[in-house]
Homo-oligomer: A and B are copies of this chain.
Amino acid sequence: MTADRNLIDILGASDMFQPLSDDALGLIAANGRVRSARRGEVLFSFGDPGDALFAVCSGRVLLSRFTSEGKEIALAAMEEGGVFGELSLIDGEPRSADATVVEAGDLFILDRVAFQNALDSDPSILTALLGVLTRRLRITNRLVESVSFLEMGPRLARLLLALAARGVHTDAGEIILPARYTQGELAKRIAASRESVSKQIAQWTRDGIIGLKDGKLVLIDIDRLNLWADDMDLEL
């Protein structure tokens, strides 16, 4: 019985299962399940026992930590093809962050047993897993740098430019970001306050560096934004 072709394509495009054959992907797809999630839904919380791994089919999930006062910092954001929640499957430790849906969509869920079976049936997953963790570690290291070295402006500039990678290029050489990010979400992702982000965006809008197109941010003057981003603070 073959699973949804669409699902197989998505899994096959994710870092994690990318090395697998279609047959193996089908097996995995058949052993997991897909469910839709509403915006705001909490998939798991810090400290929970972790017994499943998630893959984003559509929508967006934020992995973050909270202070008791309600401050929040996003450790990572997962979009289509992103896999998360595997740490707990590897070491059996509790969840190290909260996972919150910030854009409604569908999630593929694979529980511990199915994951183990997949590992057994195709050891190359192990290598892929290694690659996933390595990449994640490099990204997190960069996050540490950003937060401790850069001021808020450059951090935001970098985030916008990173988001632009999945954006749409217009014929005018501008880039429309791929989704409607609230200022609150942007703030969480650069460890800043919502107000600061608001003020910076207002300034850049006045300067003609960015704009708004039906709710989505548009990067107008990429060069100038790049100037903000590499304010030569980090060597190389």
Task: State whether A67 touches B133 (Cβ < 8 A).
Answer: no
Q: Which A56-80 residues have C-beta < 8 A from chain B?
A: 65-69, 71, 73, 75
Q: Which residues of B sit under 8 angstroms from A97, Cβ to Cβ?
A: 141
Question: Which residue on chain B has the smallest CB distance to residue A66?
Answer: B235
Q: A46-B235, A47-B236, A144-B73 are in contact. Are A67 and B149 (CB under 8 A)?
A: yes
Q: How far is the CA of A143 from the CA of B140 in the complex (A)?
A: 10
Q: Which A219-236 residues have C-beta < 8 A from chain B?
A: 232-236
Q: Which residues of B sit under 8 angstroms from A90, Cβ to Cβ?
A: 130-131, 134
Q: How far is the CA of A98 from the CA of B236 in the complex (A)?
A: 12
Task: State whether B147 touches A147 (Cβ < 8 A).
Answer: yes
Q: How far is the CA of A192 from the CA of B235 in the complex (A)?
A: 19
Q: Which residues of B sit under 8 angstroms from A137, Cβ to Cβ?
A: 87, 133, 136-137, 140
Q: Which A113-152 residues have C-beta < 8 A from chain B?
A: 126-127, 129-131, 133-138, 140-141, 143-145, 147-149
Q: How far is the CA of A143 from the CA of B91 in the complex (A)?
A: 19
Q: Which residues of B sit under 8 angstroms from A67, Cβ to Cβ?
A: 149, 233-235
Judge whether A31 is part of the interface by a CB distance below 8 angstroms. no
Judge whether A96 is part of the interface by a CB distance below 8 angstroms. yes
Q: How far is the CA of A109 from the CA of B135 in the complex (A)?
A: 23
Q: Which residues of B sit under 8 angstroms from A131, Cβ to Cβ?
A: 90-91
Q: A133-B134, A235-B68 are in contact. Are A73 and B140 (CB under 8 A)?
A: no
Q: Which A133-189 residues have C-beta < 8 A from chain B?
A: 133-138, 140-141, 143-145, 147-149
Q: How far is the CA of A138 from the CA of B96 in the complex (A)?
A: 7
Judge whether A207 is part of the interface by a CB distance below 8 angstroms. no
Question: Which residue on chain B has the smallest CB distance to residue A93?
Answer: B138
Q: Which A residues are closer than 8 A to B by beta carbons?
A: 46-47, 65-69, 71, 73, 75, 87, 90-91, 93, 96-97, 126-127, 129-131, 133-138, 140-141, 143-145, 147-149, 191, 232-236
What are 16 residue pairs bridging A and B, where the CB atoms are less than 8 Å apart in the complex? A46-B235, A65-B141, A65-B149, A66-B234, A68-B234, A73-B148, A73-B149, A90-B130, A91-B134, A93-B138, A130-B130, A130-B133, A133-B137, A137-B140, A140-B144, A143-B144
